[in-house]
Structure 1
Amino acid sequence: MTVATRRIAANGFDFAVDEAGEGDRLALCLHGFPESRFSWRYQLPLLAEMGYRVWAPDLRGYGETEPKPREVSAYLIDRLMEDVAALIDASGAKSITLIGHDWGAGVAWAFAANRVRPLERLVIMNVPHPAIMATQLRRNWAQLTKSWYMFFFQLPGLPEWGATANDGRAIRRAFHGMAIDKSNFTPDVLDRYAADAQRPGAMRGMINWYRAAFRLGGKLRGPWPVIETPTLMIWGEADAALGVELLDGTDAYVRDLTIRRLPNVSHWVQQEAPQTVNPILAEWLAAPRV
């Protein structure tokens, strides 16, 4: 299955988008931090073979997407949802399946809850519902400790310097160090992520997602209506950044919820364990919904 990179003009940005497949059923894949569209390399062929047109964009502030705004307010969740809506509109697709990992999943949660555009299916990987995350950060000392980096990212300048110093050594360690099975994080993969993070303005833009969430909140703070879209959560249980207890209570926010937990798989679930993730995706997406 051929994967091609396109440029898509949407919401004032020139998005770099990896595309596979064709047709009017769009699977839009939203990556997390500190990733890029490259993180979906194992899922694009599968989804295309299932009859989807698959788009995996570099999100605002990341990779080859331009421009990369400097101001924190440009990364408010409301603006990020506008990007997703604009990409969907640009696709002209008639049905939308939204798939997100990490921060991309955070945007996907907000997008589905706010019903910005109709969705056929929602797939979330290793990020809790925002309401649960907010509660856990207030009450769960273990999770608060794991989330130390979110607070560090509020500092000006220092996080950008630390992440990109020594040819992006911290970015490389984030993937290789956290992964349980490191076989899919070869030197060339780590080079790709380190190079993307070192593009002009990229690291500032990437970290500004966290700054905007902490300082501005916007629709990330709710209120949270129940999501009616059928939703699949895939969760690597060996996530060093997010405890598995963050799954608890999700059914209060989602009407039709399926959870698949993967033992001994890290936060980088779709990259680390595509041999497990892809069959789960294929079975759930193909199953009829009542």
Structure 2
Amino acid sequence: MRIDLNGVGINVTDTGQGPAVLLLHGWPDDHHLWRHQVAALTAAGYRTIVPDLRGLGDSDKPGDVEAYRMTRLVGDQAALLDHLQVPEAHLVAHDWGAAIAWVMAARTPERVASLTCLSVGHPRAFATAGWAQRQKSWYMLLFQFPGIAERWLAHDDFRNLREWAHHPDHDAVVARLRVPGALSASLGLYRANVSPESLLSPPPDLPPIQAPTMGVWSTEDMALVEDGMTGSAAYVAGPWRYERVEGAGHWMQLEAPDRVNGLLLDFLNTITARS
């Protein structure tokens, strides 16, 4: 299904019936990232709403970097819920999707029944996670250089991307990024929101998260350190739960789907049972 939101065409799948769960992917993914979770959630009686973020998948790919500002990304999700007449949803998010979800939960708490963030913690926890996180974030600086980043990633059939990221779906990811303009559009997420200047100043203040929140980090993550997730507890006023997935990399929902699905269903079922 394709929906026009704020002048941008967004591709979205809407499956099942029951409490709504909005699943947000990150870079360089699309809605297929959540296929194992969608199957488990719909079987358990949840409605799953899974968009492709602007600039990725089959959604529109504006050429203007400003189109990827966080306010636009969050606005897309609020507009999507409005279009589908969903007053509130459980947010389940990964990577850039998690960054969006943290801001959405802070700014529009009335729309968020619960928050589950995989890999990426609260913006302030990420910013204060120390030198180890800075080292792992080296690629964010590389991605700021138009043309150079694209050449580095795409060289030799995307060899650098394949060897650095170890994405379980690397062939499908590369096929999407080969589409003319797709790679540059996807990098707009980084160029609009994590400029070199932003690395020298704290992120904007956000209200404390009121929703029940679960943070999940995997021990073999090549991009995030554990402190960025455990430190998120300081910014959550609602109930906080932390879970660690042993032996899985950054894409834990693909590498350890049974473990992730079990955690997700346990968390959501507990919340829905109380409501």
What TM-score, normalized by structure 2, do the two folds share? 0.91
The reply to whether residue 208 of structure 1 matches residue 207 of structure 2 is no
Secondary structure class of the residue paired with 2:26 = coil
1:41-56 alignment, distance < 5 Å: 41-56=35-50
Moved over 4 A (4+): none
Aligned twin of 2:257: 274
Q: Between the two proteins, what is the percent identity of the paired residues? A: 38
Checking the alignment, whether the CA contact within 8 Å between 1:125 and 1:235 is kept in structure 2 is yes
**2: CA distance between counterparts of 1:12 and 1:172?**
33
Amino acid at match of 1:9: D
| Structure 2 segments unaligned to the other structure (5+ residues) | none
Letter in 1 for 2:108: R
User: How far did 1:190 drift?
Assistant: 2.4
2:150 maps to which residue?
160
**1:193 aligns to what?**
173
Partner of 2:72: 79
Shift of residue 50, structure 1, vs aligned partner: 2.3
- Counterpart position of 1:65: 59
Instruction: Give the Å deviation of 1:117.
Output: 4.9
CA-to-partner distance for each residue in 1:257-281, whole Å, 9 max, x for gaps?
1111111111111111001110111
Match of 1:126 in 2: 119
Contact 2:118 2:217 in 1 (8 A): yes
Residue number among 101, 104, 119 corresponding to 1:108 in the alignment: 101
Cα displacement (A) at 1:175: 4.4
**More displaced stretch, 34-43 vs 85-94:** 85-94
Q: For 1:117 and 1:30, how far apart are their aligned partners in 2?
A: 18
Rounded Cα–Cα distance in structure 2 between residues aligned with 1:203 and 1:277: 29
Give the letter for the 1:125 counterpart.
L
Could you tell me how far apart the structure 2 residues matched to 1:169 and 1:47 are?
35
Change (3 A) 1:254 1:283: same
Question: 1:248 is paired with a residue of what secondary structure?
Answer: helix
After alignment, is 244-253 or 74-83 more displaced?
244-253
State the secondary structure of the residue aligned to 1:224. coil
Shift of 1:171: 3.6
Alignment pair present for 1:252 and 2:234 = yes
> In the alignment, residue 234 of structure 2 is paired with which amino acid?
A
C-alpha spacing 1:91/1:84, structure 2 compared with 1 (3 Å): same
Q: Could you tell me how far 1:146 is from its partner in structure 2?
A: 1.0
TM-score (norm 1): 0.86
Distance 2:231 2:158 in 1: 37
Residue in structure 1 matching 2:7, options 12, 37, 50? 12
Partner of 2:139: 149
Count of matched residue pairs: 268
How far apart, in 2, do the equivalents of 1:166 and 1:283 lie? 43
Residue 228 of structure 1 is matched in structure 2 by 210
2:91 is the alignment partner of 1:92 = no
Q: Which residue number in structure 2 is paired with residue 182 of structure 1? A: none
Structure 1 residue 52: Cα displacement: 1.9
CA RMSD of aligned residues (A): 1.9
Amino acid at match of 2:214: L
Structure 1 pair 33–174 and aligned structure 2 pair: CA distance change class (3 A): farther
2:244 corresponding residue in structure 1: 261
**Partners in 1 of 2:113 and 2:53 — Cα distance?**
22
Which residue type is aligned with residue 222 of structure 1? P
Tell me the secondary structure at the aligned position of residue 115 of structure 2. strand
Q: Secondary structure at 1:221's aligned position in 2? A: coil
- The aligned counterpart of 1:283 is 266
